[in-house]
Amino acid sequence: MTCSCLFLLLFLPLAALAQTTIPSEARLDKGFAAAHYERKGGKPRVLQSIFTGESAVPVSTNEVLVKEFRMTTIADGDIRKPQLVIAAPECRLDINPRSHRITSTNRLRVSTATTNFVIEGRGFSCAQTNELLVISNSVITRLPKPSKAASGSHITAASMADMEADPANYFQVFSDRFELYYTENLVIYSGHVMVLDSNVQMRCEYLQARFNTNRFGPNTTIEKIIAERDVEITTADGGQAWGSRAIYAIKPSVEHLELIGQARWQDGPRESKADKFTFDFTPDHFVNTLRADGRVALKLPDSEIKETNLVNSLPVSNPSGDPNHFTELFADHVTVQKSPIKKLESILAEGHVVIINQFQQTRATGDGGVYTTINDQFELSGHADCQMASRGEIRADCLTLGRTNQSFSARGNSQFKYRLADIHDEQMLNQDGFNTAADTSRFLTVTSRDARVLTNKATFTGDIQACLLQGEQLIATLESQLLELQFATNKRIQSVLAKDHVHAESEPQGRIISREFSGDLLFAHFWPGSKFLENARAEGNVSGKQVELDKNSPKQKITTLNAESVVAQFAPQSNTVENATATRSVRAMQINGPVTNTLTGEHVVYSGGTNEIIQVTGDPRIQYFGPPSTKPDDTNLTTAAQPGKTNEPGSMRLPGVLVTGADSLIWDMKTDKFHGIGPYSIVPIRMTNSPEITNEPASTNR
């Protein structure tokens, strides 16, 4: 609409009427008609608009009352190109050149001849000075969308009916007041504003709608709508949103809505708050993408997304999906993708991401995160950290939480801390006389390059350093390149498998000062429901060392073992070795003060129990320094090999034997008795302070 054209059309002939000179363009008795031409520079006049009325009656010096008023603006001076049509049952025309205003308390209808653009209301005013049209009551507007605007210069009644029948072709706006600023391509609505669209229903107190620059030509459409003051939005799929300001941008095939200022969104049990929301709509009028920016808080029911429940190693304790249990997501930016059936498809979180589940008592953080329903997992990146309340914590450069298989996957600088089951119910004494009742709050920590944790299994790879802690006290450490842990349903470690450059150490406990192990492979299995080992196996360049205090003296006793393979079984109550087998290049050594005992062979079998027997085969060799003889009938080998020899009190010259050459050597460690199968030799030897070994002629050769 052009108010300048309107007044030029109307006021020139009416001014002549006021002077009782009626121009040929105006007929007042049987009807009223006029045309307005505009001349620019030295160009010929161009037709700008045509207006008509049923009659025009002067009501004052400067005003004329026109019945059935109608005005049509013309494009390019071509009467076949009508633009804006303005119609009212009656109006007052102020013909004063200083005011040039049209007013009425009656109805008004503004429309175009080539689109479905229509404005209706009651009580209006149109001023030429600022080209402003104001409608003051009961405003109803239909605004065409870009993709639905007519492309031709004319439309038929049938095509108009088709456009009006499909709500996807237009917006409807209801308000108390309407203002049209023609030169700025701007309309303003105020007072109880409501926008109806196939995508949304929006309520506010103030709304601006801006047209494209075609100025009500064949393709006049709305480009942007701005709503302010108590904005409330309801989307076609049932979601609701509130905010201080909304911007609805409309382009062909693309529509999105921005909600700004203390924005809040709710869709059933889903809720979110942010500084700004952006809604992208599908052709089917549903929200395809919801983007939240600035201090985002997103709340989702666990029945819809349970990824943070995965921080528990056990199955979720809320399998029925109680809608009162929620997962909360906080970030700088969050993008939610939904399917046409409102099913959550993906979530993209960026900047200071925090995921909290109060019911499961879990908290995960990172610089960014992505959730997808295709693989049903949430991936956190950049200083990712997942805390499992009192259960533990896992950190990495990138952390993936999988819902379906209850898993973690950590990539890059993985740090894992896991609380093992409390064992306060195990009231027993261990082999060193220590009560295990206080043995609670055990933690396992593992640093590695990568990690993968399932419900009952954890796998770590690359530069592994594992620690077993009792509260804050270190119990044992392990290094390797691969580590696999199996967990029992009671949250205890069931088995341990370590490979490639394995090295393990234990801290002092009871009389045990330290234990060390190294090799290519270590496998250990624990008794069910216990912290004690059931069996263990070591392969490849096996080396073990134990330092303990001697039972009978304050001296340290050092025991070492080297072999290619070692297998051991342990007692369930005392955790002592019941039996063990070492094969290939076996070498065992025990240093007890000045005494060094050694044992070598290709196959060594240890049987615990009452006698504690060791059997050595494959070129067996034993060098042994036993205790001095204390009974006349003591027949241990060291005494038998040295008849008449005794140890002087305080003497540093200790007697011993070197046993070689047997097919098999059996050593009863409790009695220090040896038994050989096949030819063997016993050579008496002595150890001095040097310690030098002096071999004497064999006393026995069978």
* In a domain? residue 194: yes
- For residues 243 and 261, state if they share a domain: yes
pLDDT over 90 for what percent of the chain? 25
* In a domain? residue 578: no
Query: Among 387, 419, 451, which residue terminates a domain?
Result: 419
| DSSP letter (8 states) at residue 509 | B
313 has pLDDT over 60: no
pLDDT bin (cut points 50, 70, 90) of residue 217 is: low
295 has pLDDT over 70: yes
- For residues 230 and 336, state if they share a domain: no
Helix (H) or strand (E) holding 34: strand 32-38
d(CA 397, CA 486): 24
- For residues 84 and 197, state if they share a domain: yes
Q: Which domain holds residue 161?
A: 3-265
Q: What is the mean pLDDT of the chain?
A: 76
Report helix, strand or coil for 514.
Answer: strand
Predicted confidence at residue 232, as pLDDT, reads 93
- For residues 94 and 213, state if they share a domain: yes
- For residues 194 and 93, state if they share a domain: yes
- For residues 243 and 320, state if they share a domain: no
- For residues 92 and 147, state if they share a domain: yes
* In a domain? residue 330: yes
Which phi-psi region, left, alpha or beta, contains residue 311 (left: φ > 0; alpha: ψ -120 to 50)? Answer: alpha
- For residues 246 and 392, state if they share a domain: no
* In a domain? residue 686: no
Q: Which two tokens stand for residue 238?
A: 């049932």
Name the CA dihedral angle for 645, 631, 677, 700, rounded to a multiple of 10 degrees: 20
pLDDT tens, position by position, 486-533? 988 767 788 999 999 999 998 887 778 888 899 999 999 988 877 788
* In a domain? residue 478: no
pTM above 0.75, yes or no: no
- For residues 95 and 59, state if they share a domain: yes
- For residues 234 and 289, state if they share a domain: no
- For residues 310 and 337, state if they share a domain: yes
Quick check: 459 and 407 in contact, CB under 8 A?
Answer: no
Helix (H) or strand (E) holding 501: strand 493-506
Query: Among 419, 436, 462, which residue terminates a domain?
Result: 419
> CA of 114: how far to CAs of 118, 136, 137, 156, in Å?
11, 26, 26, 9
pLDDT bin (cut points 50, 70, 90) of residue 658 is: confident
* In a domain? residue 529: no
Query: Among 237, 265, 293, which residue terminates a domain?
Result: 265
Quick check: 178 and 187 in contact, CB under 8 A?
Answer: yes
pLDDT tens, position by position, 79-120? 888 877 889 999 887 766 566 678 889 999 988 776 667 889
- For residues 329 and 311, state if they share a domain: yes
Domain CATH code at residue 373? 2.60.450.10
Our count of domains for the chain comes to 2
| Window from 116-120, 284-288, 604-608 with minimum mean pLDDT | 284-288
Quick check: 593 and 547 in contact, CB under 8 A?
Answer: no
Give buried/exposed letters for 570-587 (b at 16+ CB in 10 A, else e): bbeeebebbbbbbbeebb
d(CA 615, CA 605): 5
pLDDT tens, position by position, 43-71? 778 887 787 888 888 888 888 888 998 87
